[in-house]
Structure 1
Amino acid sequence: MAAWGERLAGVRGVLLDISGVLYDGGEGGGAPIVGSVEALARLKRSQLKVRFCTNESQKSRGDLVGMLRRLGFDISEGEVTAPAPATCLILKERGLRPHLLIHDGVRSEFDQIDTSNPNCVVIADAGEGFSYQNMNKAFQVLMELENPVLFSLGKGRYYKETSGLMLDVGPYTKALEYACGIEAEVVGKPSPEFFKSALREMRVEAHQAIMIGDDIVGDVSGAQRCGMRALQVRTGKFRPSDEHHPEVKADGYVDNLAEAVDLLLQHADK
């Protein structure tokens, strides 16, 4: 693997995942990953542009930012690219009325969306809301449509909380895809359009940007497919086997966000 100076040269913008990079969720809001609060502060004091790119779908952007600020992070709502607001734009543009299989914590993002007589389904990380009854209702809505449309807010397999690994929305999306014989439209990572929207908001070209995340597929592969570089942190959902993934190789592996920031401040934008 090339030296860090070569791998990070020319980076002008940094996209950061949130869960598993900044903090691990859990009871009471979770806990910051060691060194991440100061690492973010150092990064934001630099000349590098910073934006947060998350698949968080249990909280509204406002609630997510409020929680992160209480944990000590310097972050504002306008710096966050998240799937719920992006989904609302798509629904409005296409005149779609969703049946919502989502967590109550993100429901406020859809307050301005017409949900009467649904002609599509939106599925997000509903947590305890993934009951048989709720899954079956979403299945019934889709099966009654001539051209069923399913939106999935991200498609992650699992994520890490302070109490351990938790199932993400992906397995439930897969169940509906299989049952209905359809393929979901993913709004969120690893969708190329989601990464491109974050780059546009940051006003940085793909070759000038780097993604830092804990997910070898959603973060690393998704970013690289858009022409970005990507670092994987050994925190959050990281598994040692990720470094030997048969198809995806990060541009570098670091112990945590603090190490990533050390390297970026030393080598980026050179």
Structure 2
Amino acid sequence: MMAEWCKPVGRVKGVLLDISGVLYDSGEGGGVPIPGSTEAVKRIKEANLKVRFCTNETQATRETFVAKLQSLGFDIALGEVFAPAPAACQILKERGLRPHLLVHDGLLPEFNQVDQSNPNCVVLGDAAGNFSYKNLNEAFRVLIGLEKPVLLSLGRGRYYKETDGMKLDVGVYMKALEYACDIEAEVVGKPAKRFFLSALSDMDLEPDQVIMIGDDIVNDIGGAQQCGMKAVQVRTGKYRPCDEQHPTVKADGYVHNLAQAVKILLEHLH
């Protein structure tokens, strides 16, 4: 297969990587690196390509999350990680919004600096076990009581893969609240354009100089392509063969895993 995705208009100078399902599969006890992925990240950096990690991870603070990845052997620094919670905090401050939080306990410290009294919006993250009827209903009551309800969702994923199988993601609960309140959520994180563009601007690169590598056909691949990037899907993580027949999104390339993507990319650069 000709790797056309390696030859965008501008020479490739940077890589955007999804984390869960590309670098590792999360799960009890921290998760498991996908074979070859720690080495692949190292090779990207040794080739002097800029790299940023664009994740919709919202179960832990970036600090905790990055420390976990470092302990698994990944060369990853806090400043290289773009996650929805810090982006949401920026939006809350810009717009004077006070959130009612329905998020994972591990994420709460990200919102320490944000006024949460007398909430005038709801922020929804991947709350996992916190997604009880009681908690969803509480968020619903806040929204339905507002004249102009604002729902910020930290991503819109349907499911993701952990070591013990597939798990429902935040998008499912976002849809429930949208339906109940007859509103449309604002998505912070992938596939929102603003989220990808902030990572590109941090690298100081144009979309045609950057390749996105992810396991989510809609949020990683579709989101990146909407910003003008080439995007490659790995056949790891939540990937399923039917993704290759997706009705609206077609990846620029499909690879077995991150290691193969990096191998092809570096062969074309030299």
- Aligned equivalent of 1:82: 83
Q: TM-score, length-normalised on structure 1?
A: 0.97
Per-residue CA distance 1:7-28 (angstroms, 9 max, x = gap): 2122111000000000000011
- Aligned equivalent of 2:131: 130
Q: Secondary structure at the match of 1:87?
A: helix
Letter in 1 for 2:104: H
1:120 matched to 2:89: no
Q: TM-score, length-normalised on structure 2?
A: 0.97
Structure 1 CA distance for aligned equivalents of residues 127 and 247 of structure 2:
31
Identity of aligned residues (%): 67
- Aligned equivalent of 1:239: 240
- Aligned equivalent of 1:32: 33
Structure 1 CA distance for aligned equivalents of residues 148 and 227 of structure 2:
29
Question: Does the Cα contact within 8 Å between 2:156 and 2:169 map onto a contact in 1?
Answer: yes
Displacement, 1:182?
A: 0.3
Per-residue CA distance 1:192-234 (angstroms, 9 max, x = gap): 1111111011111011111000000000000001000000000
1:93 matched to 2:94: yes
- Aligned equivalent of 2:23: 22
1:196 matched to 2:197: yes
- Aligned equivalent of 1:70: 71
| Aligned length, in residue pairs | 267
1:198-217 aligned at under 5 Å gives the runs 198-217=199-218
Letter in 1 for 2:156: K
Q: Secondary structure at the match of 1:179?
A: helix
Letter in 2 for 1:99: H
Structure 2 CA distance for aligned equivalents of residues 81 and 263 of structure 1:
25
- Aligned equivalent of 1:144: 145
- List alignment gaps of at least 5 residues for structure 1: none
1:106 matched to 2:104: no
Structure 1 CA distance for aligned equivalents of residues 25 and 145 of structure 2:
39
- Aligned equivalent of 1:218: 219
- Aligned equivalent of 2:6: 8
Displacement, 1:47?
A: 2.0
Structure 1 segments, 4+ long, off by >4 Å, are: none
Displacement, 1:44?
A: 1.0
Per-residue CA distance 1:40-69 (angstroms, 9 max, x = gap): 111111121111000000011000100000
The Cα RMSD (Å) is 0.9
Letter in 2 for 1:44: K
Structure 2 CA distance for aligned equivalents of residues 72 and 7 of structure 1:
28
Letter in 2 for 1:62: E
Structure 2 CA distance for aligned equivalents of residues 139 and 243 of structure 1:
36
- Aligned equivalent of 2:49: 48
Structure 2 CA distance for aligned equivalents of residues 170 and 7 of structure 1:
29
Per-residue CA distance 1:69-94 (angstroms, 9 max, x = gap): 01000001000010000000110111
Displacement, 1:250?
A: 0.4
Displacement, 1:246?
A: 1.4
1:185 matched to 2:186: yes
Structure 1 CA distance for aligned equivalents of residues 202 and 107 of structure 2:
22
